[in-house]
A and B are shown apart, each in its own frame.
Chain A
Amino acid sequence: MIRLENVQLGYSGRLVLRDLDLEIAPGEVFGLVGPNGSGKTTLLRAISGRLAPEAGAIYLDFRCLNELSPRELARELAALEQEISCSFDFTVREIVELGRLPHRERWQRLSQKDSDVITRALKLTKTLEFSERKIHSLSSGERQRVWIALALAQEPKVLLLDEPTAHLDLNYQLEIMELIRSLAQRDLTVLVSLHDLNLALRYADRIALLSEGRVIAVGEPEHVLTAELIERVFRTKVRIVNGTGDLYIVPVRSQR
């Protein structure tokens, strides 16, 4: 469980997000939506422990984040940046192995348990079949699954994902979101920022809508993503369309 109490976030005194009060339940897929620059990445950085709040406190299972060492935190929480690059051409398995770093001492070799966790992470993300291939030979969709496998190898309780579907083809977008859903069913809490409102509507249990440095609505996606609120925040007219039981957000063309 993650709880934010009256959190103020910023960089060198300039506040980017203010008055954050959020509680995210275990096993929940929690979406962060909002226009570019609304602070989604900043919020994820803070929850991952990489940005200390200017005020307020962030709790992970009743422990304040600043009480945890980076290694302790890495055993509880995994975070993936929006764009990850690898400067050397490691194999997929070598990369996923890195997820075991916080669980092992420097001089320890991989244990049987480590290998089992790695294989399970590879299987869950369907990357096992190309685990011996080099990372630079993969497509961007395959690579995204490898990063998620790396995060799963940490055996975290919480997974933070920053726009995991950005720059992916439609089929890969759905594949990643289905994967995230299936992970949440295994009691993993997933906090994911999404710029695609339809993906948020379809895959998130709850979402927070960020705008101009504040959370302006929290709740189930179909209650938060109303046509009026979207128009106010994104300055775009939309219609919410009901197609065979699912809701879709469709932008309305401006009439000239």
Chain B
Amino acid sequence: MHHPKSWLGVLGALVPVVLGLSVMFGAVSLSVSEIVAVLSGRATDQTAVTILIQIRLPRVLLAALVGGALGLCGAVMQGLFRNPLADPYLLGIASGATAGAAVVIALHLDIYWGAVPLGAFVGGVLAVAIVYRIAQTRWAQLDNYALILSGVALAALFSAITSFLLFYSGASHDARRLIFWILGGLGGAQWVYVFGLLCVLIAAGAVLILFARDLNALALGEEMAAHLGIEPRHLRRILLIAVTALTAVAVAVSGTIGFVGLIVPHMLRLIVGPDHRMLLPASALGGAILLTLCDTLARTVLAPAELPIGIITALLGAPFFLFLLRRRAQLGALL
């Protein structure tokens, strides 16, 4: 199993297997024959139909799509910023989205369908737009450090807004709602989310993979990439627009799920190597597999109660990062 392309095939084959297993497990287990019966329209048990079609299936598919989106965006951000600690939330999209959701909840607009995801999407995109605008000013000159630093500043600002709203609203059910949103989770999955995210993932994913070779050149630095005929600023703008759109939709439908966008690209780089033409699709597939598995655990470990998925991703993420640290010490090389 040496060639990266065969790994891509393995990952591609693993996705439906993991999705199938994930559909079977949950508060109520479904057998293969029950699932087949429901999908072929021959089911007699109406409960099984409801569980599978209304609850289980959209949730499992949404988990895979969110994981794929975060894995892909994480790989792009690490390549774009040439930094192993970059993730899809680097430019403040998570705290912007959280603040957006907090505003909606504090104003009690969350009684309207789709208000929280919309608020989160707007908040996330707004945060990145402001970060980009600040970094574009003449004195900041839009280099990577300017972007990262204004991202840190804006994240702090938006967190302050969230904290203020939490503190001010005082209503405990608002606070609880928001905390659930911050922890992230796929409990609110609906078919409309699945199709919405699928469309954005296909569109943004196509753009990102088309620019994968430019990310390879960028590994040699912006100056060298420019000598190879690439316009670094142009590239950065395109990639950030695609990543922001995709991450904002993923966060809007699932909250801020941490660690997936950070660790998945590292895992896949160990397997398929650093070539972004392989790494980007592999990270999307790997993210889909990882988040589907994590969500399956979240649903089953404490069933019928649910564990917030952020706890599971963090529990997996921390040891993996220590493993990377050890490996780095052994190789004496970059991550």
Contact = CB atoms under 8 A, between A and B. Distances in A.
A167 interface: no
Contacts of B275: 90, 94
Interface string B182-225: 00000000000000000000000000001101101101110110
Interface residues of A, number: 31
Contact of A70 (B79, B216, B219, B230): B230
A85 B221 contact: yes
Nearest to B275: A94
Contacts, number: 74
A70 to B, nearest CB: 5
A154 interface: yes
B227 A74 contact: yes
A80 B228 CA distance: 10
B216 A81 contact: no
Interface in B277-299: none
B318 interface: no
Given A106-B210, A136-B334, A48 B217 contact: no
Interface residues of B, number: 26
A186 B221 CA distance: 29
Contact of A71 (B83, B229, B333): B229
Interface of B: 79, 82-83, 210-211, 213-214, 216-217, 219-221, 223-224, 226-231, 269, 273-275, 333-334
Sorted nearest first, the 9 A-B pairs with minimum C-beta distance are A74-B229, A88-B274, A71-B229, A102-B229, A87-B82, A79-B227, A136-B333, A70-B229, A87-B219
Given A50-B223, A81-B227, 11 more contacts: A84-B224, A86-B220, A87-B82, A89-B334, A91-B273, A94-B216, A101-B229, A101-B230, A102-B228, A106-B210, A106-B213
18 contacts: A69-B229, A70-B229, A71-B229, A74-B228, A79-B227, A81-B221, A81-B227, A84-B220, A85-B221, A88-B79, A88-B334, A90-B219, A91-B273, A98-B217, A101-B214, A101-B228, A107-B210, A136-B333
